[in-house]
C-alpha cells in the first residue's frame, strides 16, 4: 500500500475517517448497553421498593409524584395496599447537600408515619465515612437507628444540631443530608395522605 503524502488535506482526511469509525463504535456500544443498563436500574429500584415497604405482602400501586415547596425535583411515592387498604409507602427521596453532592434514598413509611426501612440508591460520599449511612442508621446502638421512629414525633436532625439522632462519626455533613432527605420524604408522605383522604 502506497504511503500517503504528508499534507494538510491528507491529515484532515485521516482524522475524519478515524473520527467517523470511533463515532460508529461508540454509537453501537451505546445501543448495545442502553437496554441492559435501563433494566438493571429498574430492577434496582423494584428491589429497593420491596426492601423498604412496611408490609412485604402489600401490593404496590401506581407511583405518585409529590412536589414540595423549594424543591426542584418531585418526590416519588409508591403507595402499597393490603386487601385494598393503604398500609404505607416507599418514597424515593434525595438531598443535594451531601459532602460530595447528591444522595438518593428509598425509604419505607407505614400508614402511621413510622420509618420501616431505607436503602441508599446513589451516593458519592467519602468511602468509610459518609458511605456508612447505608448501615449506620439501621444500627441498634445509642440513638442511631431511625427504623421504628416517626419523624413527626422524633427530631430527625443530628444531636449536634439539637436533634435526637446520632450522626455518623466524623461525617456530620453526610448525616445532616441523609436525615434531611428522610424529613422531606415524611413531608411528601403527609402531603400524599392529605391528598388521598377523601379517596
Query: In this predicted structure, what is the pLDDT of residue 47?
Result: 86
Specify whether the CB–CB gap between 133 and 98 falls below 8 A: no
Residue 155 phi, psi dihedral angles, 5° rounding: -80, 100
pTM of the model: 0.77
127, part of any domain: yes
Domain range for residue 90? 52-195
44, part of any domain: no
Question: What is the pLDDT tens value at each position of the chain, 199 positions in all?
Answer: 456 566 777 777 878 888 888 887 787 776 777 676 667 677 777 888 999 998 889 899 999 999 999 888 999 999 999 998 999 999 999 988 777 778 899 999 999 999 999 998 887 655 654 568 888 999 888 899 999 999 999 999 999 999 999 998 878 888 999 999 999 999 999 999 998 875 5
Query: How far is the C-alpha of 58 from the C-alpha of 82, rounded, in Å?
Result: 5
110, part of any domain: yes
Query: In this predicted structure, what is the pLDDT of residue 16?
Result: 83
Q: How many domains does the chain have?
A: 1
9, part of any domain: no
Amino acid at each position: 500500500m502506497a504511503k500517503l503524502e504528508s499534507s494538510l488535506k491528507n491529515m484532515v482526511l485521516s482524522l475524519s475517517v478515524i473520527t467517523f469509525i470511533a463515532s460508529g463504535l461508540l454509537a453501537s456500544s451505546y445501543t448495545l448497553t442502553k437496554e441492559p443498563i435501563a433494566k438493571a436500574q429498574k430492577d434496582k429500584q423494584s428491589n429497593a421498593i420491596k426492601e423498604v415497604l412496611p408490609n412485604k405482602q402489600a401490593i404496590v400501586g401506581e407511583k405518585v409524584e409529590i412536589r414540595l415547596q423549594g424543591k426542584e425535583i418531585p418526590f416519588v411515592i409508591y403507595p402499597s395496599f393490603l386487601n385494598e387498604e393503604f398500609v404505607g409507602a416507599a418514597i424515593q427521596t434525595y438531598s443535594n447537600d451531601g459532602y460530595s453532592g447528591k444522595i438518593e434514598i428509598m425509604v419505607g413509611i407505614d400508614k402511621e408515619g413510622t420509618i420501616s426501612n431505607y436503602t441508599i440508591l446513589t451516593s458519592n460520599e467519602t468511602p468509610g465515612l459518609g458511605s456508612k449511612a447505608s448501615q449506620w442508621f439501621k444500627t441498634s446502638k445509642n440513638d442511631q437507628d431511625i427504623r421504628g421512629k416517626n419523624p413527626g414525633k422524633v427530631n430527625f436532625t443530628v444531636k449536634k444540631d439539637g436533634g435526637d439522632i446520632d450522626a455518623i462519626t466524623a461525617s456530620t455533613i453526610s448525616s445532616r443530608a441523609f436525615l434531611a432527605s428522610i424529613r422531606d420524604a415524611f413531608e411528601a408522605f403527609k402531603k400524599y395522605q392529605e391528598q388521598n383522604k377523601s379517596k
